[in-house]
A = this chain, B = another copy of it.
Amino acid sequence: MAALAYNFLDMTHPQIVTEQSAAEKSRHWLKYLQQRGYRLTGSRRAVVDALAEAERSLTAADLYEIGRAKHKGLGLVSVYRTLEKLEELGLVQRVHGPGGCHAYISAQDGHNHMLVCENCGRVEMFEGDDLKDFTRGLEKQSGFRIHEHWLQFFGLCADCQAA
C-alpha cells in the first residue's frame, strides 16, 4: 500500500487528569454499588478502599494482601468478585502493559489514556488527544471499521528515577 502524506494527529488539550480524593472516591463507589442492588459488606469495603486509595495499579493478590489489613477474614475469591463488579460498572479498569495485564486501577470518567511506571505501577491518566481524523485515515487505508484505540506510554516515574 502506498505511503500517504497527511498530518492526521491533532492534540489540542493534553492534560493530566486530576484525581478526586480517596475517601470521596470510596464513598461514591460504595453508594453506586448499593444503588445497583449490591450489599455493602466488610469484604467489599476493604477492596474498594484499597483501590480508591491506590496511587498505583494493583493485582488481585495485591488487593488481597492490602485488603486483609482492613478486613481480617477477606478471601481472595471476594477480591475477584468485587473486581468483576467494579469493572462491570466502569469504576475500575485493567492496566495492560509489556510487564503484564493483570493489574487494576480506578477508572476516570470518559475516554482517556495512561502513562504507566514500569517499576512501581504508578499510573497517570491523560486526555485531550483527538485521533478522529487519524482514525478515519486509517479506516480508509485499511478497510477496517475502527471502534476503539489505546494510546499508552511506559517509563519511570519521578520517584523511581531517583531510587
Copies in the complex: 2
Please tell me which one of the listed residues B98, B101, B149, B155 contacts residue A144 in the complex, with CB atoms under 8 A apart: B155
- Chain A contact-residue range equals 35 or more
Once the chains are docked, how many angstroms separate the CA of A24 from the CA of B60? 44
Q: Does A148 contact B (CB under 8 A)?
A: yes
Once the chains are docked, how many angstroms separate the CA of A7 from the CA of B143? 28
If over half of A's interface residues share one DSSP class (helix, strand or loop), that class is named, otherwise mixed; here it is strand
* Cβ contacts A133-156/B at 8 Å (1 or 0 each): 011011101111111111111111
* Cβ contacts A1-22/B at 8 Å (1 or 0 each): 1011111111111111010000
CB contacts under 8 Å to B, within A6-51, are 6-16, 18
Mark A residues whose CB is within 8 Å of B.
1, 3-16, 18, 96, 98, 101, 115, 117-118, 124, 126, 128-129, 134-135, 137-139, 141-158, 161
